[in-house]
Structure 1
Amino acid sequence: MDINGEERIAAPRSVVWAALNDPEILRQCIPGCQSLEQRSPTELAATVKVKIGPVSASFSGEVTLSDMIPPESYRIAGEGKGGIAGFAKGFADVALTEDGNETILRYNVDAQVGGKLAQLGSRLIGSTSQKLAQQFFASFNAVVGAGNATTDA
């Protein structure tokens, strides 16, 4: 399933790029994130707890950053296993465009699920995935934009 969107962030592109590569900021913004540990500059380990319809599960997995063109774009890919709930995997292509003192962050997410989760139906999976992606980018916008506003004051 494909999910597209954009956020206007009240921060310069260099600040947004740094935040996209900061595990602590990412941990704060990922819905249900229990832990996020940086293993290398491009690899992270994550534990995320999510509820999709009647199924609640903790997923443990890997996150990899690739196709990096600092400070313009990258691909963030992840794969997690949730025991009997199944698995989730996907990626997001993220692009940053300067617009004065603000940054336009555009994203294209492609996600797949399998196992018990896949049995819930594509409409529920799709709407929940879109909601989670929107929550992440809205939270990211709030954290980065607010942080930038306080440093400029």
Structure 2
Amino acid sequence: MKIALFPGSFDPITIAHVDILNRSLPLFDKIVIGIGLNSAKQNFLSSDQREEMVKTIFADNAKVEVQLYEGLTVDFCRKINAKYMVRGIRSASDFEYERAIAQINQTMMPEVETILLLSKPEYSAISSTIVRDILRNNGNVSPFVPKEALTFL
């Protein structure tokens, strides 16, 4: 079984995340959306809110599973038996960042391949950071998040 991990903080999940995941689904038997917990990071949404939001969005897709995890992403890959990681990239700076992480992960766990998918041009400006800023300033985020996420925001 081909299992991939789609890791991230998903604070909150955006339509760009959903697009990357949906485009990667035909490549794998199962994709685990791994919501990384980082105690050093101040999150906008709690881990439970993020988990419930992502589960709600993908409730009708049997190939998608949602799990919280702490620690190294490669260790989580071992735990769930994932041989692939899916990541989205929007820009050259995203590529450089993701390339460095993929190379480090490859050194720590050579059997895991990172698959980088380019975001669609219309989603390249969307990031969770920008969505959080809009939310903090009471702006309308509906163009940037899945409709199912709005009840959590």
TM-score, with normalisation over the residues of structure 1? 0.29
Structure whose alpha-carbon radius of gyration is higher: 1
Determine which structure has the larger helix proportion and give its number: 2
TM-score, with normalisation over the residues of structure 2? 0.29
